[in-house]
Amino acid sequence: MNIICLVKFVPDITGFGYDYEASSMVRNHTRMVLNPDDVCALSFAFKVKERHPDSQIQVVSMGPTTVVPHMHDLLRIPVDKGTLISDPLFAGSDTYATSEVLGSYLKTQSFDCILSGSRSLDGATSQVPPQIAEILSLDHMLDISEIDVEKISPTEAVFSVEGERETTTWSMQLPGVLSLGRSSTCKLPYPSYADLQRDVSDKLTILTNKELGLDPSHVGLEGSLTKVVNTYDANSRRRAKTVVETNEEGIEFVFSYLKDRGFV
């Protein structure tokens, strides 16, 4: 099979701080990680490759060139081909403009299936995968919990989607866009020690707008249909602080607190 994985490198939110006085994120020590949903998409691509070794996996990402070391790591796993779409013109693109950029590249590629995560850690709008499917005139499904690796073929995929009350099984004609949800069981293969030392730069293509040829007014901030008004940390609301001692009373307080909120 010929698989394209759309991946995004996102800020590791565990490294975020929040400046209450300035009401802004502190990102000084933030590093980039592969979006957890996308790990599941890529992980599934490797399962397919394990069953069908002649499969080809191409990873496509849009972002700054600072993610090149991360792309190299994926190529060492090894992903067969990497494409990074990076141009200062694209900075500030909303999901619509991002989909336009990615879609314009994907139109030039042949593939049986596009895999992606369902949502990104830093935005969580889930808009890019369906918009790309729309641009490519393909079917799309979001929040897939599992794709049947034994039944996937260049023409069909069978997969499960977990709803609140039930899990439904679907089949889709391929090519199509399949977006997986996050699961803690998804893991990528380890690169070998020898592969870690390997120069894989020849497997990574970095594309700018020079190659894509998009109208500058259709990308970046200018081409975006939506604007970010404010950014905030969903977990940063300042709460009243209660300090307890490490004694029976303190333990009881913490236990009751957690119990009242259904955590235990």
Partner 1 sequence: MNNEKIIEQLKTMLEPTQINTNSEDLYDASADRYKKYAKARNVLDVPAPLAIVYPYTPEQVRDLLVFCNTNLINVIPRAGKTATEGGLENWKEQTLVIDALHLDSIINIDTYNMQATVQAGVPLQVLEDALRKEGFTTGHSPQSKPVAKLGGLVATRSIGQFSTLYGAIEDMVVGLECVFPDGHISKIKNVPRRSGGPDIRHIAIGNEGTLCYITEVTVKMFKIYPENNKFYGYLIKDVDTGIKILREVMANGFRPSVARTYSEEDAAQHFYHFHKNKCVLLFMAEGPKGIVKATGEAIEQAVEKFKDGIIEQVDSKHIENWFNNLNWSQQDIDDEFEGMKEHDSHSGFTTEISADWSTITKIYYNVMKRVKEEYPRFHDLTMLGGHSSHSYINGTNMYFVYNYDIHCAPEDEMRVYHHPMQRIIVEETLRLGGSMCHHHGIGKFRNEWTKQEHGSAYYMLEKLKEAFDPNGIMNFGTIFPQEEGKKYQ
Interface contacts to partner 1, rule CB under 8 A: 12, 14-15, 17, 19, 26, 28-29, 31-33, 69-70, 73, 187-188, 190-193, 196, 246
SS3 138: coil
Question: For residues 137 and 185, which CB has a smaller minimum distance to partner 1 in the complex?
Answer: 185
CA dist., res. 57 & res. 167, Å (int) = 28
Assess contact for 93 and 217: CB atoms under 8 A.
Answer: no
Q: Report the nearest approach of partner 1 to the CB of residue 221 (Å).
A: 27
Reported as type and span, the H/E element at residue 106 is helix 95-106
CB of 193 to partner 1, least distance (A): 4
* Helix, strand, coil % in the chain, rounded to nearest 5: 30, 25, 40
Three-class SS state of 185:
coil
Residue number with CB closer to partner 1 (18 or 170): 18
- Residue pair 144/150 in contact (Cβ under 8 Å)? The answer is no
Q: Report the nearest approach of partner 1 to the CB of residue 81 (Å).
A: 20
User: CB of 41: closest distance to partner 1 in angstroms?
Assistant: 17
Considering the complex, state which of residue 34 and residue 180 has its C-beta at the smaller distance from partner 1.
34
With H, G, I as helix, E, B as strand and everything else as coil, classify residue 222: helix
Closest by alpha carbon to 80, among 101, 104, 60?
A: 60
Nearer to partner 1, 188 or 221 (CB): 188
Q: State the minimum distance, in angstroms, from the CB of residue 12 to partner 1.
A: 7
User: Between residues 235 and 246, which has the closer beta carbon with respect to partner 1?
Assistant: 246
